[in-house]
Amino acid sequence: MPLDTTSRTYTIQGHEFAAPALAAGLHLVATPLGNLADVSLRSLAVLAAADMVLCEDTRITSRLMQRYSIATRLKPYHDHNAASIRPVLLQQLAAGAAIALVSDAGMPMVSDPGYKLVRDCVDREIAVDVVPGPTAPVTALALSGLPSDRFLFAGFLAAKSGARLRQLRELSTIPATLLVFESAARIDSSLEDIAEVMGDRPIAVAREMTKLHQEVLRGDARSIIAQVSDRPALKGEITIVIGPPDEVQEISQDDIAARLSELLRDYPASKAAGILAKETGRPRAALYDLAVSMKNAAS
């Protein structure tokens, strides 16, 4: 039995359309990042035909629903209530309900709690379908101008600098363009940490994508820090795109140690490691550890 008895229609520029009947199961629906005109026709039809729409924040999703005169009931589904309401949702889905799941913006399943519901649906052989559409990481990648043939989305950077530095060091050797989310409140400190670990690798900071104040800052981390130093604090949703590392030169560990020993005659360990990292493409953090070890052994 349907969970919702509202009119299953949607409206585009004053023209009303009836939504086709929707198959039972869970439907993952991408929603606009900011510009509500980016929604697909299929997304509107599925949202209108669903028995219920699960969303992170009803206030945000209601703007999209109101724009297109969709009356389907909204139900919050987020980190704080997902565990408690998931069993009920699974019962409704098993009984034949058609339920749509959206995130606040972009593609569900990307840094939101929806994957657990999908996992449980798969385990119970409940049908899962997807209506693809906007996604912030790929949109930022397209805007960045950086290599897109191989990329890794690494989610949110860690909140604390120590953990963030460790995370960046782990990511620094991956031969791919890196995509990470960051909050506006931490963007300055994160750019400093990116500069510390990845030096002058090209990056792009994309914020407020598809919205009125969309902006992409390009350069290396230090140059972007300089670009924003005299401006008010950056605001909005931010994706950082980090270009891939240069190919690591084929050089033996003995040659690395010999060159580092030579540099240590003139420079402190930190500077010597930085110079050698630029020369070889090796991770600066690992070279610094080696330099410190060599200095300790020599003392």
Mean pLDDT of 251-262: 87
- How many beta carbons lie within 10 A of that of residue 23, not counting itself? 11
Q: Phi first, then psi: what are they for 129, rounded to 5°?
A: -125, 165
- How many beta carbons lie within 10 A of that of residue 166, not counting itself? 14
Round to whole Å and give the CA distance between 66 and 298. 71
CB 110 within 8 A of CB 181: no
What are the tokens at 136? 């912030």
Indicate the residue type of 281: G
Q: Which of 169, 121, 204 is nearest to 289 (CA)?
A: 169
pLDDT of 124 reads 97
DSSP 146: S
Q: In what order do the strands lie in the sheet with 74-76?
A: 74-76, 52-55, 98-101, 25-29, 128-131
* CATH code linked to domain 9-134: 3.40.1010.10
| pLDDT tens, position by position, 77-93 | 998 999 999 999 999 99
CB 257 within 8 A of CB 288: no
pLDDT of 4 reads 53
| pLDDT tens, position by position, 194-220 | 999 999 999 999 999 999 999 999 999
Q: Where are the domains of the chain?
A: 9-134, 137-242, 253-298
pLDDT of 3 reads 54
Report helix, strand and coil shares of the chain as percent, to nearest 5: 45, 20, 40
* Cα→Cα distances 123→79, 82, 83, 117, 134, Å: 21, 17, 16, 10, 27
* Cα→Cα distances 189→49, 141, 162, 180, Å: 45, 22, 11, 14
Q: Phi first, then psi: what are they for 107, rounded to 5°?
A: -90, 125
| pLDDT tens, position by position, 134-155 | 999 999 999 999 999 999 999 9
**Domain covering 137-242, topology:** 3.30.950
What are the tokens at 60? 């945000």
What are the tokens at 143? 């805007």
Side-chain-side CA neighbours of residue 60 (13 Å): 16
**Total-model pTM:** 0.79
Q: Which of 114, 88, 93 is nearest to 25 (CA)?
A: 93
Mean pLDDT of 154-165: 94
CB 64 within 8 A of CB 37: no
Mean pLDDT of 235-259: 85
pLDDT of 1 reads 43
